[in-house]
């Protein structure tokens, strides 16, 4: 199961994390977000122990969403050692996302 990032745990779990974090900004009412959820779940299992892969509900966590200027969802940020190294806006394939994660590792 994908990790749940929140306004209160984001600093500790994504920014202070040494290594790679993949953050999917989504909302329950967003159709394209629901399309990418199974991909995020699968990648979370595949990269278990190598990367922290999770989701931020933009409706429940406005601070972190505003900090990164999230205006369209789904938006996926790939962070390495707390810095954004890649970004994907909109739906993408599992293969494309996996490739971006592997490049960051």
Q: Which of 15, 30, 89, 91 is catalytic?
A: 30
The domain limits of the chain are 3-92
Q: Encode burial over 52-88: b for 16+ CB neighbours within 10 A, e otherwise.
A: bbbbbbbeebeebbeebebeebbbbbbbbeeeeebeb
- CATH number assigned to the domain covering 3-92: 3.40.30.10
In this prediction, residue 69 has a pLDDT band, given cuts at 50, 70 and 90, of very high
Residue 5 designated active-site = no
Residue 33 designated active-site = yes
pLDDT, tens digit, for every residue of 3-33?
Answer: 999 999 999 999 998 999 999 999 999 999 9
Q: Give Cβ neighbours of residue 44 (< 8 Å, ≥ 6 apart).
A: 1, 2, 3, 53, 54
Q: Which of 2, 20, 22, 33 is catalytic?
A: 33
């Amino acid at each position: 199961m994908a990790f749940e990032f929140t306004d209160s745990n984001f600093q500790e779990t994504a920014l202070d994390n040494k290594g790679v974090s993949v953050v999917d900004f989504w909302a329950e009412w967003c159709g394209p977000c629901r399309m990418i959820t199974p991909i995020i779940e699968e990648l979370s299992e595949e990269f278990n122990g190598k990367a922290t892969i999770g989701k931020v509900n933009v409706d429940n966590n406005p601070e972190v969403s505003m900090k990164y200027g999230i205006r369209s969802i789904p938006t996926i940020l790939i962070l390495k050692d707390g810095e954004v190294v890649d970004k994907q806006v909109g739906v993408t394939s599992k293969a494309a996302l996996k490739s971006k994660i592997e490049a960051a590792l």
